[in-house]
Amino acid sequence: MPTPLPPPGPGPFELSGGDLCLDFANTWGDRPRAETDGLRSYDHLLAFARQTGLGEASDLAALEQRGRREGAAAAAALHAACELREALYALFSARARDRILPPGALACLNAQLREALPHLTVQGSGPAPEWQWRDGAQFLTSPLWPIARAAADLLTSREAPPVRECDGAQCTWLFLDRSRGRSRRWCSMASCGNRAKARRHYHRGRAEGS
């Protein structure tokens, strides 16, 4: 089963993909337009982690301090984040089109899973223990761990709704299609859906006028 999303906190990212890993891929909304890339610094990665409830608040505060002290390491962590994000985009974009999963993207996801999963533990002595990530404050890449796991869960899920990519001409938004007829085409009617409708209307009007 896909990992359920934690309740979103206030923050700069739009979390409408329906799954943590899709929301992460959507931190770049319109590839390749660089100005729509929401992950341009290590602090942006931490902002995404805070907004989606990834990691303990104290761990994220420690990472913030550490990121400021260790600029080169924070840049490397941001690079790893962008690599994972583009791998997830490639994988789920292919999935949305029923295409073969790109092997390089799958290798990238597996490499990040190998780093993440040794930190996954079961905690709690009551009848309902929980998955918990350990040592998050010690690794600048720890916000990526639950994202990689969510992606693996979603890719291997047989029950999850289908993944779609927005039909908008300048939009690479991924989302789970929970619509009744599994026929959703747009990230949102308010943005791409209405733009496409307006475009069709314009072209029809011109065709009829000529």
Rule CB under 5 A: which residues touch Zn ion? Answer: 166, 168, 171, 173, 187, 192
Terminal C-alpha separation, the chain: 53
- Residue closer to Zn ion by CB (options 95, 149) is 95
How many residues does this entry show for the chain? 210
Least Cβ distance, residue 105 to Zn ion (angstroms): 21
Q: Give the burial string for 113-150 (b: 16+ CB within 10 Å, else e).
A: beebeebeeeeeeeeeeeeebeebbebbbbbbbbbbbb
Least Cβ distance, residue 168 to Zn ion (angstroms): 3
Least Cβ distance, residue 89 to Zn ion (angstroms): 14
Least Cβ distance, residue 28 to Zn ion (angstroms): 13
- Residue closer to Zn ion by CB (options 79, 201) is 201
- Residue closer to Zn ion by CB (options 37, 153) is 37
- Residue closer to Zn ion by CB (options 66, 195) is 195
10 Å CB burial of residue 55 (0-12, 13-18, 19+) is: buried
Integer Cα distance of 52 and 202 in angstroms = 39
